[in-house]
Amino acid sequence: MRGGTMRRLRWLVNARHSFELYRAFLWLALPFGCLFVFLVPPFQSPDEPNHFFRAYQVSEGVFYAEKKEQRLGGELPLSLSQVRDSFLFLKMNYESRLDKNLIFRQLKTPLGTSLRVFTDFPNTAIYAPTAYFPQATAIALVRPLGATPLQMLYAVRFANLFIWLLLVQAAIRLMPFLKNALAALALLPASLVIAASANADVITNGLSWWLMAAFCARMSGQFKTVTSAVVIAANKLIALPLALLVLIGKKQRGRFVFLFSAALFAALAWGYFAQKQFISYDNYHPAFREAQTLSEGVDPARQQVFILQNPLFFAKTVFFSAIKALPSTAAHFVGKFGWEKNYLHPLWLAALWAMLAAVFFSEKNPLATRQRLLAAGVAVLYAGMFAVTMYALWCPVGAMEITNFQGRYFVPIAPVLALVLANNWLEKFRNEIRLGAVLIMVFGNCAMIISILTRYYA
C-alpha cells in the first residue's frame, strides 16, 4: 500500500516538472473547437455569410468574382441567401434569441442548384481563391452527397477548424523554442471561436504561424516554405512583411531575394485584380448597397493620394485611433465571439492577458537583439500596412479616425510579437505557470461557452 502511494506521488512530481502546455494543445483545442462549430449560430461569425458565398463560388471553379450592373458577387443558388436571411434577425440585435428548432428546420432546406440569382458579397469577392481552399474543398465533397446549404456551412466550419489545427500543431512541432507561447495564443477563446468559422483568414493565420516557425527552424529554402509565403501574400497583402522573417536565420540573404520576390509578386498580382474588382459604396448599385459591408465616402485611390500629401496628419490619425481602440482591440484579441460587441467578462479578459504575459516571460528565447529588432520591424510594418489598408478601404477620404481596429486582424503576427517579447524572467515559476495556463484556458473556454449560450439561446 505504502509502495503504491509513493509511486503515485513520484508520478505526480515528475508530471509536474515535465509538463508543457504545448503537449495539451490538441487535447484542448479539438473538443472546444468542435463545440464552437455548433454553438455559434449560423452566419454569426464576422462576415461569415459573405465568406460562405465566396467559398461556394470557388467550389464551383469560379476563382474570379463577377461584376454585374454595379454589383460584385456571383450567380449562386437562391437557397444560400434564403438560409442566410433566416438568421439575420440575430445580427446586432442583442435582445433576440435563437430557437434551436429553426436550425433543425433549415438543415432540411434543399440546395436547389437550378434556381440561381446574383448574390452580393463585395467585401469577400476580392479575396484570393487560395484563402478558401479548405472551405471550397469541403463544399465540393459534400455537395454530390445531397448536402443542404446549412449542412455545407457546418462542413466548411469543420474544414477550417481541422486545417487550422493541423497547421498550428505543425508550427508547434517545428518551432525550436517558444512552443508554449504558440500553444497559449492558439488556445485563447477568441482564437478557437474564429477558427471554427467560415472566415477566410483562418487558413492565412495558420499558414502565417507555420511560416514563422519554418523560418525559425531554418527551413527557408524548402519549396513548401516558399509556397506558403506566396499564398499568404496573395491571401492577405498586409501579411507580406512576414516574408522578411527569413532573415532571422544566418546566411539567408540569398534565399531572401527569391522568397521575398515571389511573395511580392503574388501580393501585387492579386492586389491588382482586387483593385480592378472593388466597387465603393458610392458607386455600388443604390438598390443593394445598404445591405453590404461598405462604407460611404470611401475612395481608395483618392485616399492614398491624401495619405501621401498629408503624412503627418495620417500618422497622427493612426496613433490616436490605435490608442482609442486599444481596450476593445485587446478584448477582441483574447475573448470576443460573434459579429457584435460580444466579449467575455472583464475579469476573464484580464486573466487571459495575465496568463499570456506569464507564459511569454517564462519562455527561453535564444534570439539575439538583431533578430528581435527584425521581428519588431516586421510587426511594425504589418501594423502600418494594416492602418493604410483600413484607411483606404473603410474610411471616407480625409477621415480623422480609423474605426476598424479589431484584435483578430493581428492574429497573423501574434507569434512574431512573442519573438520580440519572450524572455525567461519568470523561469523559476515555469511549471506553476504552465499548470495555471491550462486551468485558465479550460475555464476561459468554458466561460466562452456560457457567454455564447447566454447571448444567443438563453
- Residue 423, pLDDT above cutoff 60: yes
| Region 163-173 average pLDDT | 98
Averaged over 95-119, what is the pLDDT? 95
191-210 residue pLDDT tens: 999 999 999 999 999 999 99
Helix (H) or strand (E) segment spanning residue 418: helix 414-421
pTM as predicted: 0.94
Q: What pLDDT score was predicted for residue 218? A: 82
Bridge partners of 394? none
pLDDT tens figures, 22-61: 999 999 999 999 999 999 999 999 999 999 999 999 999 9
pLDDT at 182 over 80: yes
Amino acid identity, position 158: F
What average pLDDT does this structure show over 213-225?
85
Rg of the chain, C-alpha, whole Å: 23
φ and ψ at 196, to 5 degrees? -95, 30
Listing DSSP states for 161-205 in one string gives HHHHHHHHHHHHHH-SS-HHHHHHHHTSHHHHHHHTS--THHHHH
**Percent helix / strand / coil, the chain, rounded to 5:** 70, 5, 25
218 Ramachandran zone, left/alpha/beta (phi>0; psi -120 to 50): left
Which of 5-9, 317-321, 357-361 is predicted with the least confidence, judged by mean pLDDT?
Answer: 5-9
Q: Which residue has the cell 477620404?
A: 397
- Name the amino acid, one letter, at 364: K
Report how far residue 45's alpha carbon sits from residue 50's, in angstroms, rounded to the nearest whole number: 11
Instruction: For residue 19, name the pLDDT band (cuts at 50, 70, 90).
Output: confident
Length of the chain equals 458
437 pLDDT above the threshold of 50: yes
For residue 10, give the C-alpha cell.
513520484
The reported pLDDT for the residue numbered 9 is 45
The residue with cell 539575439 is 368
pLDDT of 12 higher than 50: no
Distance CA 128, CA 316 (A): 32
Lowest mean pLDDT among 57-66, 152-161, 242-251: 242-251
Q: Tell me, what's the pLDDT at 426?
A: 95
Average pLDDT over residues 83-99: 94
Sequence-distant (≥ 6) Cβ neighbours of residue 193 within 8 angstroms: 36, 40, 45, 336, 337, 448
Rounded to 5 degrees, φ, ψ at 336 are -110, 150
